[in-house]
């Protein structure tokens, strides 16, 4: 934090303006795309998108003022509340007869499973922060994080929400990896997955999810059914070419061929009109964001700060990676939005919470000494 | 724990840094993969996806090309395209299938068959390929649908064209008809045009055989549509290019007259131009109305046509084969002269000719008779005796030279070429020796001889002109016909005999033309129905056993211009049934008013024009089908009483 003397008051001058500029650019570009997706109108998406972003940005800046100890204290209460909400959602869905992921907060729908993503990262990081380094190879280092990730994971799988459940697992596992879990766990798990994935495909997945995976493997097998999303998305991106069809001139999105063009497939909407140039621009923006997150992690002096910053960065990365792989036909269709571009409150809230906490870690790198000598 | 490695926080920090770098590396690598993938899709495969995007955006509807017209030698229409209205359904845009179909069925008075078909096609359909609900609609029905369009999403009323034959049934066998492409035809050629509503192909007659020349080029209507099928705007539309009209040698007025003049009879009239070989008329009645087929014929109407014993589905001009009977006597006369017989040589007719212990009968007792008078009076005895003298192998080549037993290079779907027997043919076919009695039968056009009305007319035209006429149906380049290799004197004798048939108290004296300056020459024929060779049956009340009436003729006697043949199935005699028809048809060529006056008085006795009679007959047929039989009603009554 550079404290430059001048006419700008110190608290404002001290804000991470480069990061804010990056986030505003991404969100503003997202608004442009949503403006076009609505046929050249702020309603119903672009205006709301920008307004929400500004509110969440303010929230993130406020969050960055809290010291790291605050997040440490908050970790388990928040984790516990979210777990209860997940159970509540589950029960309501069971009683109401059908899958129910939302809790209506009035101004937006809230998905507890969304917020569980950063919460799991915080909780697992909290655990490893407390774990003496010497115990990292012991079984004591295994079962608590597995429990922390596993319980919400099962609840989300039951919803059923495949994408979010994998995201929760991913955040927790990345933290465990960075905390120093032995590599053999990961190699062993990879081996087990290769056996379990086919089993899981046939016994755990809902038929519609099986269908999505099957279609992903061969999208042309059912171009009007489930493969429709992937085919149309590729057509949108592919027809954009190098420079795109021009702002407001996308046909795939405007003539409704591209499904979910304002949410999960917003990147395709963008790429159709802005082309490869726009796509590389967005990728570069995300690159800067993720690089910032990992740098904050590496610069942090507290173990909790390191793990949280890196874990949350990876949570954001997960959104970006899975979404982009999906829209380009490299991953099955899972309902995961693209940060800053997709319209949708819950995911933006999650991402901005992640950024707020990382900003807080950036502001409070902590003392050089770790918790354990 | 058993693991003896321990870590301090510095080592842990090192592990963290290393692993974070690794994670960062993985992220960067994935970023590169994504960038590469995007470059591949949007730059390398750009063309492919642009095409796909265009085909999404633009919906192409084919406009079926209008078929080329058939026009007659004077440019009058035989088959045209009539603008009409059509209602299609575009499956993609349909909201409530059952309700929409029910509403349409109500508004358009669709039959149960139609409703079934529409539903079946809708189940198989996908996308924007329209499905035809009904075509050939009048403006009233079209307007009824049009005002309700807001309530009927997916229903598309359009203006289209359907094939129209102004002459109706009269040209059915000649022109044929068009129809929608069948599933088998579409399986062979998957051109989407084939299943575009309103697209028809020739199914029969000239429509079928000249299909390639009648087809035009399809047009295309391009519109920008949303994924839900809403039309955003019209893009450029390419109009269809109609097929070129084909000019037939037919004189449609003459043809129509001939068809009408056949009346309630089952038969055929063929008229040739003796100078060129042009087919001027080729009527075969009764016939289906090709307009019914073009609109998609109903099950009942088809059943009615199929069950009619007069075979309206058969083109009798080309596919009806009959024993020509005495109409072949002039031809035999030429053969006799070629074999050296003096036309003045007389044969004494005592009412029959004795061959071995069998007597071949003549219909009269003509006394001593020469060649010309034998033709005039149709004396069998003369021809039995003379034919026996020269043998049929000397007559058959003349018959073939005049066109019997031949097939011609004409664009008709099928021609039957009949039989001109000789000993060689007989041996091959039956492995038996040709006998003298076979010769006697063949000489008077019975026995194994079979010919179509088309061949008989051509034979008359060739005999009259002495030219080796090649029949023509399409107006175009044609070679000047060469002369037949017959002596003009021999031909003259045959013609004089035919002149006497009509104009010198011969067998067709009742049918001489009521014209001052034109005389007709001809020859009657009465052929026994082949299966019934015993005598006395020709007056049978059972229609199927009655004799056929035939007449071949040409006019004018001097300088012949027209050659014709008339065949009336089971008409009981050439002079009685066929010759009067020939007389009126030829009269029409010279004095249409006189001919029309006679036709109109005849038609009023028959119960109206062809259309009126067909309509009434079909209605009767329907009523009979629908009427419950006596047994049915009794059974119903029993059931009612039982309850």
Alpha carbon of B601 to those of B451, B590, B597: distances in Å?
A: 32, 19, 6
Q: Which of A186-190, B84-88, B266-270 has the lowest mean pLDDT?
A: B84-88
E runs forming strands in B513-610: 521-527, 548-555, 562-568
* Distance in Å, alpha carbon of A147 to nearest chain B alpha carbon: 21
Instruction: Specify if B299 maps to a domain.
Output: no
Contacts of A321 in chain B (CB under 8 A): 27, 30, 34
Termini Cα distance of chain A: 28
- The strand pair at B347-349 and B279-285 is best described as unpaired
Could you tell me the CATH number of the domain that includes residue B514? 3.40.710.10
Instruction: Specify if B361 maps to a domain.
Output: yes
Residue B64: give the domain boundaries.
Answer: 59-247
Q: Is B281 helix (H, G, I), strand (E, B) or coil?
A: strand
Residue A16 has pLDDT above 50, yes or no: yes
- The strand pair at B70-71 and B246-247 is best described as parallel
Whether residues B243 and B329 share a domain: the answer is no
Confidence of residue B531 (pLDDT cuts 50, 70, 90): very low
Instruction: Specify if B15 maps to a domain.
Output: no
Instruction: Specify if B281 maps to a domain.
Output: no
Of the candidates B351, B323, B239, which has an alpha carbon nearest to the alpha carbon of residue B533?
B323
Whether residues B436 and B574 share a domain: the answer is yes
Cβ separation A252–B6 shorter than 8 A: no
Whether residues B393 and B479 share a domain: the answer is yes
Bridge partners of B237, per DSSP, are B221
Of the candidates B306, B236, B329, which has an alpha carbon nearest to the alpha carbon of residue B522?
B329
Q: Which of A339-348, B86-95, B575-584 has the lowest mean pLDDT?
A: B86-95
Alpha carbon of B267 to those of B129, B336, B574, B581, B586: distances in Å?
A: 45, 31, 12, 11, 17
Nearest to A252 among B6, B42, B56 (CB): B56
Residue A104 has pLDDT above 80, yes or no: no
Contacts of A178 in chain B (CB under 8 A): 16, 19-20, 23
Residue B12 has pLDDT above 50, yes or no: yes
- CA A70 to CA A73: how far, in whole Å? 5
CB pairs A-B closer than 8 Å:
150
Output the average pLDDT for chain B: 86
- Specify the pLDDT at position B4: 45
Phi, psi (5° rounding) for residue B132? Answer: -80, 130
Residue B534 has pLDDT above 60, yes or no: no
Give the contacts of B342 (CB within 8 A, at least 6 positions apart).
none
Phi, psi (5° rounding) for residue B632? Answer: -60, -50
Whether the CB-CB separation of B571 and B577 falls below 8 Å is answered with: yes
Nearest to A133 among B8, B43, B56 (CB): B8
Percentage of chain B surpassing pLDDT 70? 93
Residue B103 burial (10 A CB sphere; 0-12, 13-18, 19+)? middle
- CA B499 to CA A189: how far, in whole Å? 112
Whether residues B360 and B222 share a domain: the answer is no
Of the candidates B30, B90, B96, which has an alpha carbon nearest to the alpha carbon of residue B59?
B90
- Specify the pLDDT at position B541: 62
Cβ separation B46–A241 shorter than 8 A: yes
Confidence of residue B225 (pLDDT cuts 50, 70, 90): confident
Could you tell me the CATH number of the domain that includes residue B145? 3.90.1310.10
* Distance in Å, alpha carbon of A167 to nearest chain B alpha carbon: 15
Confidence of residue B116 (pLDDT cuts 50, 70, 90): confident
- Specify the pLDDT at position B631: 56
Contacts of A328 in chain B (CB under 8 A): 34, 37-38, 41
Confidence of residue B128 (pLDDT cuts 50, 70, 90): low
Write the pLDDT tens digit of every residue in A141-155.
899 999 999 999 998
Instruction: Specify if B319 maps to a domain.
Output: yes
Q: Which of B66-75, B121-130, B258-267 has the lowest mean pLDDT?
A: B121-130
The residue among B543 and B53 whose pLDDT is bigger is: B53
Termini Cα distance of chain B: 95
Report the 3 state secondary structure along B201-260: EECCHHHHHCHHHHCCECEEEEEEECCCCCEEEEEEEECCECCCCEEECCCHHHHHHHHH
The residue among B332 and A333 whose pLDDT is bigger is: B332
Upstream peptide bond of B556 is cis (omega within 30 degrees of 0): yes
Q: What letter does residue B180 receive in the DSSP assignment?
A: P
Alpha carbon of B242 to those of B81, B193, B194, B195, B217: distances in Å?
A: 10, 14, 16, 18, 6
Residue B116 burial (10 A CB sphere; 0-12, 13-18, 19+)? exposed
> ipTM score of the complex?
0.90
Whether residues B412 and B325 share a domain: the answer is yes
Give start and end residues of each alpha helix (H) in B262-406: 290-294, 299-307, 316-319, 329-338, 371-376, 380-390, 396-401
Instruction: Specify if B41 maps to a domain.
Output: no
- The strand pair at B131-137 and B77-89 is best described as antiparallel
Phi, psi (5° rounding) for residue A351? Answer: -65, -40
The residue among B271 and B642 whose pLDDT is bigger is: B271
Q: Which of A35-49, A99-113, A168-182, B23-37 has the lowest mean pLDDT?
A: A99-113
Output the average pLDDT for chain A: 86
Confidence of residue A216 (pLDDT cuts 50, 70, 90): low
Phi, psi (5° rounding) for residue B14? Answer: -65, -45
Closest chain A residue to B232 measured between Cα atoms?
Answer: A255
Among B4, B12, B39, B46, the strongest candidate for a mutation testing the A interface, having the largest count of A CBs within 10 A, is B12
- Specify the pLDDT at position A224: 57
Question: B400-416: buried (b, 16+ CB within 10 Å) or exposed (e) per residue?
Answer: ebbbbbbebebebbebb
Cβ separation A271–B42 shorter than 8 A: yes
- Specify the pLDDT at position B640: 56
Nearest to B41 among A238, A251, A255 (CB): A238
Residue in the structure block whose two tokens are 């000598």 = A373
Confidence of residue A18 (pLDDT cuts 50, 70, 90): very high
Cβ separation A137–B49 shorter than 8 A: no
Residue B535 has pLDDT above 60, yes or no: no
Cβ separation B1–A138 shorter than 8 A: yes
Instruction: Specify if B512 maps to a domain.
Output: yes
- CA B325 to CA B507: how far, in whole Å? 14
Percentage of chain B surpassing pLDDT 90? 39
Whether the CB-CB separation of A339 and A359 falls below 8 Å is answered with: no
- CA B603 to CA B260: how far, in whole Å? 8
Instruction: Specify if B626 maps to a domain.
Output: no
Upstream peptide bond of A56 is cis (omega within 30 degrees of 0): no
Whether residues B451 and B546 share a domain: the answer is yes
Give the contacts of A246 (CB within 8 A, at least 6 positions apart).
A273
Cβ separation A138–B226 shorter than 8 A: no
- Specify the pLDDT at position B313: 87
- Specify the pLDDT at position B633: 59
Cβ separation B31–A133 shorter than 8 A: no
**Left (φ > 0), alpha (ψ -120 to 50) or beta: where does A282 sit?**
alpha
* Mean pLDDT, residues A57-78: 93
Q: Is A9 helix (H, G, I), strand (E, B) or coil?
A: coil
């Amino acid at each position: 934090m550079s404290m430059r003397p001048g006419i700008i008051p110190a608290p404002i001058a001290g804000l991470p303006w480069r990061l804010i500029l990056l986030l505003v650019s991404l969100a503003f570009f997202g608004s442009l795309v949503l403006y076009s997706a609505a046929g050249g109108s702020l309603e119903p998406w672009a205006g709301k998108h920008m307004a929400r972003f500004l509110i969440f940005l303010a929230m993130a800046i406020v969050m960055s003022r809290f010291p790291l100890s605050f997040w440490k204290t908050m970790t388990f209460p928040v984790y516990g509340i979210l777990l209860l909400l997940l159970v509540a959602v589950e029960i309501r869905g069971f009683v109401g007869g059908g899958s129910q992921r939302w809790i209506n907060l009035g101004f937006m729908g809230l998905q507890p499973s969304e917020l569980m993503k950063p919460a799991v990262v915080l909780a697992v990081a909290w655990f490893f922060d407390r774990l003496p380094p010497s115990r990292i190879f012991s079984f004591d280092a295994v079962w608590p994080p597995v429990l922390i990730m596993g319980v919400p994971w099962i609840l989300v799988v039951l919803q059923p929400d495949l994408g979010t459940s994998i995201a929760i697992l991913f955040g927790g596992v990345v933290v465990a990896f960075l905390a120093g879990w032995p590599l053999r766990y990961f190699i062993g798990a990879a081996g087990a997955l290769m056996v379990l994935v086919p089993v899981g495909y046939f016994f755990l997945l809902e038929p519609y999810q099986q269908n999505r995976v099957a279609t992903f493997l061969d999208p042309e097998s059912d171009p009007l059914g489930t493969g429709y999303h992937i085919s149309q998305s590729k057509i949108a991106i592919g027809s954009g070419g190098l420079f795109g069809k021009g702002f407001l001139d996308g046909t795939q999105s405007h003539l409704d061929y591209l499904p979910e063009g304002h949410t999960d497939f917003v990147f395709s909407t963008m790429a159709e009109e802005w082309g490869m140039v726009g796509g590389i621009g967005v990728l570069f923006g995300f690159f800067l964001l993720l690089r910032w997150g990992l740098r904050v992690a590496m610069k942090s002096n507290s173990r909790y700060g390191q793990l949280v910053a890196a874990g949350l960065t990876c949570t954001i990365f997960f959104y970006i990676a899975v979404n982009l792989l999906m829209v380009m036909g490299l991953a099955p269709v899972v309902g995961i939005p693209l940060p800053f571009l997709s319209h949708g409150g819950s995911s933006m809230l999650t991402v901005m919470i992640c950024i707020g906490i990382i900003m807080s870690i950036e502001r409070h790198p902590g003392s050089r000494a770790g918790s354990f000598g | 724990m058993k693991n003896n490695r321990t870590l301090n926080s510095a080592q842990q920090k090192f592990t963290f840094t290393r692993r974070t770098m690794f994670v960062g590396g993985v992220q960067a690598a994935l970023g590169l993969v994504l960038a590469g993938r995007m470059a591949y899709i949007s730059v390398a495969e750009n063309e492919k996806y642009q095409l796909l995007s265009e085909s999404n955006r633009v919906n192409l509807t084919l406009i079926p090309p209008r078929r080329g017209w058939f026009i007659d030698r004077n440019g009058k229409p035989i088959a045209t395209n009539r603008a009409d209205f059509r209602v299609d359904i575009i499956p993609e845009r349909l909201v409530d299938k059952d309700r929409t179909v029910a509403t349409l069925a109500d508004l358009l008075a669709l039959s149960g068959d139609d409703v079934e078909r529409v539903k079946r096609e809708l189940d198989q359909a996908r996308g924007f390929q329209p499905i035809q609900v009904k075509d050939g609609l009048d403006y009233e029905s079209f307007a009824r649908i049009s005002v309700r369009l807001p309530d009927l999403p997916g229903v598309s009323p359009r203006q289209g064209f359907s094939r129209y034959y102004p002459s109706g049934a009269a040209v059915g066998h000649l022109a044929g008809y068009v129809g929608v492409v069948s599933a088998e035809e579409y399986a062979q050629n998957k051109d989407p045009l084939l299943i575009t509503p309103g697209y028809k192909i020739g199914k029969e007659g000239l429509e079928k055989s000249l299909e390639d020349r009648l087809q035009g080029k399809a047009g295309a209507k391009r519109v920008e549509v949303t994924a839900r099928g809403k039309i955003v705007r019209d893009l450029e539309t390419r109009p269809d290019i109609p097929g070129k009209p084909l000019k037939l040698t037919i004189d449609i007025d003459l043809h129509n007259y001939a068809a009408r003049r056949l009346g309630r009879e089952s038969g055929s009239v063929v008229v040739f131009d003796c100078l060129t070989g042009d087919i001027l008329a080729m009527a075969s009645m009764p016939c289906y109305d090709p307009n019914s087929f073009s609109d998609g014929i109903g099950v009942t109407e088809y059943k009615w046509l199929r069950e009619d014993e007069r075979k309206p589905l058969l083109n009798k001009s080309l596919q009806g084969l009959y024993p020509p009977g005495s109409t072949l006597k002039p031809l035999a006369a030429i053969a006799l002269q070629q074999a050296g017989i003096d036309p003045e040589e007389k044969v004494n007719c005592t009412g029959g000719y004795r061959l071995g212990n069998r007597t071949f009968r003549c219909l009269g007792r003509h006394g001593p008779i020469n060649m010309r008078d034998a033709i005039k009076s149709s004396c069998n005895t003369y021809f039995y005796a003379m034919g026996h003298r020269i043998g049929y192998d000397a007559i058959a080549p003349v018959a073939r030279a005049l066109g019997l037993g031949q097939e011609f290079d004409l664009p008709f779907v099928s021609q039957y070429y009949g039989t001109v027997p000789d000993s060689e043919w007989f041996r091959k076919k039956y492995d038996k020796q040709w006998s003298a009695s076979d010769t006697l039968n063949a000489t008077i056009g019975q026995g194994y001889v079979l010919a179509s009305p088309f061949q008989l007319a051509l034979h008359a035209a060739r005999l009259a002109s002495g030219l080796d006429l090649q029949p023509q149906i399409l107006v175009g380049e044609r070679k000047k016909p060469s002369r037949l290799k017959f002596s003009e004197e021999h031909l003259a004798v045959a013609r004089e005999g035919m002149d006497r048939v009509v104009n010198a108290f011969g067998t067709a004296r009742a049918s001489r033309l009521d014209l001052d300056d034109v005389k007709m020459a001809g020859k009657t024929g009465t052929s026994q129905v082949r299966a019934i060779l015993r005598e006395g049956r020709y007056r049978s009340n059972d229609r199927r056993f009655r004799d056929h009436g035939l007449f071949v003729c040409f006019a004018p006697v001097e300088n012949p211009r027209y050659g014709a043949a008339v065949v009336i199935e089971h008409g009981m005699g050439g002079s009685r049934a066929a010759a009067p028809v020939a007389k009126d048809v030829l009269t029409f060529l010279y004095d249409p008013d006189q001919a029309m006056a006679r036709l109109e008085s005849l038609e009023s006795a028959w119960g109206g024009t062809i259309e009126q009679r067909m309509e009434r007959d079909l209605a009767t047929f329907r009523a009979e089908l629908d009427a419950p039989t006596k047994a049915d009603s009794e059974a119903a009554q029993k059931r009612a009483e039982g309850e």
